[in-house]
Structure 1
C-alpha cells in the first residue's frame, strides 16, 4: 500500500491528505481527513488512524487525536460500505483502472495515485520502467489528484515521453484508452496541458480494507509482541492496544508464518494461524491450546464470541505488486480478486492462491497477457493458459468457495515444464 504522504499545493512535496479547510475545529479536521482516506480506499482502519495522528500532529495531543479518530473511522467506513452496495457493477474508478492497465499493456508506463505531487511523479516515474522493456511513454496522476477527485474535481493526468518533450501522439493514445473504457476526456491537444477526466470517484473496499473497528463496552487492553516478521499497513503494532480492535482488524489476516505474544492482566498466549483458524498456546502449563475461527481471536483472550462470522470462502495468498506484497495471507475471494487488478503488465507482479486442501492457482503477466496456471510438483510441470481478468476471478472464486482447482475447465490449456 502507498503511504498517503501529501502536500499543500499540486507541485510542492509534502504530506498528502491534509484537510484543505482553514480554521476547522479538531473534530471537523479529523472527519475531513478520515472521510477522504476512506474514499481513497488505499489504507485499512488502523493505518487511517495512524495517518490522522501524523497529519494533525501539533493540533492536539497525539493520544487525544487517536481517541477522536477511532470512532470517526468506524462511522465513515460503515457509511462507505453501505453506499457501495448501491453502486453500479462497474464504476468510473474501475474504468480508470482498466484504462491504465490497457496503457501499461501497450507499453506506456501508467500508474495511478503515483507519488505525492507532479514534480515528484515526474522525477520517479522512470524507476517504474520494467526491466527488459523499452517503454513508449508514461502517464500518471498523483496522490493530490486522487484526493481532489474524491472531493469532486476531475482527475488530471500527466503524460509524456522519457528524456524527450511530451508528444501529441502519446496524449492522444492516453485519451483514446480512457474513452475506450467509457470515460469522458477533456483535452485540447496542447502538450503543455494535462488531460482531464471528469468522473465520480468510487473505489470499493473489500477484505482487510472493509474491516470496521468494533466498539465493546467491556473491551480490554492487550500487550502485543511481534515474535516474527509482520510488516506493512495491515500489521499490528507492538505495545498496548485494544483487544477488540486487534481481533477484528488484524488477527483474521495473519500471515501463516507470523507469531504474536498477547498478554493481559490474567494471561499470556502465543497466537498463530493454521489455515482458516487461529491457534492459541498459553504460557500457563495447565491451559490447553485453543483453536478458534479467524474472526474469533477475542475468545483466545477470554472475550465474548465473535459477532462477525468467518466467511465461507478462503485462500492463502502470496502476492507482490507495485503498491503491496503479502506472504501466505488469509484472504476472502473478493480481496484476492481485487489483487489481480493491481497486477501490472510488463512486470514481475504475481499472485499465488493456496486452497484449504493444498490446490494452487497462480498468475502473473507475461508481457501484455495474463498467464494463469496450476502447478504439478510430482511432474515439475504446470497447466494453464493466458486468461482475462474475469476468467482469473472465476478460478479464484472456485478455489476459495469449492476448494478445488478448475483450471482444466478453462479449455485450451497447455501443460509445460515449470
Structure 2
C-alpha cells in the first residue's frame, strides 16, 4: 500500500493506493479528515467486491462500521468509474474507486454515471472526500405542477437535492396549488403541497400501493421528516399527527404580486406581515402598474396597485360581501390595513371593510 499527500483542489488531500491482482484501489481524504481505521475499512470493502467488479463504472456497496465515523457505507466504483483518471484511460480501466458515504446519500442500484451526476448536482454537492463530515441526506425532487416565477422548474426527471435544504427553505415556501414529489434514496415517495401554514399530502413506502396521509407544520417539515431521509425506520402513520399540537402561525398573509422591475409571483406564497408591508415601499411603489394582492387565512384579500405619482389604489376583496369600490390610500394607511387583514380573526375585519370603502 502506498500512502502520499498531494495538493488536489483546495486544501491538502491524502491519497491511498493499493495494488492487488492487477487492479489499483484509490482512496482520497481531504481537509485533514484521513483516518487509518476508515481507510482499512474502505480497502477491506473494496477487496470484498473486487472479484465481481466489472468494467463500466458499476456501483457496489458494502456496510462499514468505524467507531466515531458518521459514515456507514463504502461505495465502490468498478474499473473505469473513477473520474480522477479520466485523462489516462489505460490506467482508469485498472482502477477501482472507493468512497465513504452515508446510506442516505446515494441510490444503491444506480450506475456510475448517475452516481457522479447526483453527487455533483449543485443542489446536493456531497463532499465525498471528507471522512469526518455529518451525513447529507439526498432527496430526488420533481415538480408536479408549474410554478410561474418560482425557484424551481418543472422537469421530466427528478433532480437530486439536499433533503435538509429542500425541507427548510423550499417546501415551507411552496406556492399554493403547487405539488412536489420527493423521494428518498430507499424509494419512500412523498407528494406534498402547502395549505396555509401546513404541509399536506401523502407518503408511499417502497413496493407498496397504499398511501399514508401527511399533515405537518411547514416550519417543522425537516424536524418531522429528518429520520425518514436519514434512512432510519419510521412509523409513517405518525406523519399525520406529528405536529398536530403546533400552534397556527400568526401575522401571516398569502401574497401574489406583479412588478415591472422586481419580478412576479402569480401563485400565492405565504409571507410574514412585516415582509408584506416592506414589499409595499420596496417594490410596489417603485413603478406605476406594480400591484400585489394580500390574502388572509379566511380568504379575505386586499388588492393594492401603484398608479402614476406613486399613488396607491386599494380594494377589499371578500367573497362573502359585495365588491369594494376601493379608494386611494397613503403608504401608512395601506400598511395599517394589512395589519388589520393579518389580525382579522381578532375582530379587525369590520374596520378593514369600512376603511376600504
Normalising to structure 1: TM-score of the pair?
A: 0.43
Q: Which has the higher strand share?
A: 2
Q: Which has the higher helix share?
A: 1
Flag the structure with more relative contact order, 1 or 2, with Cα contacts below 8 A and sequence separation at least 6: 1
Q: Choose 1 or 2 for highest CA Rg.
A: 2
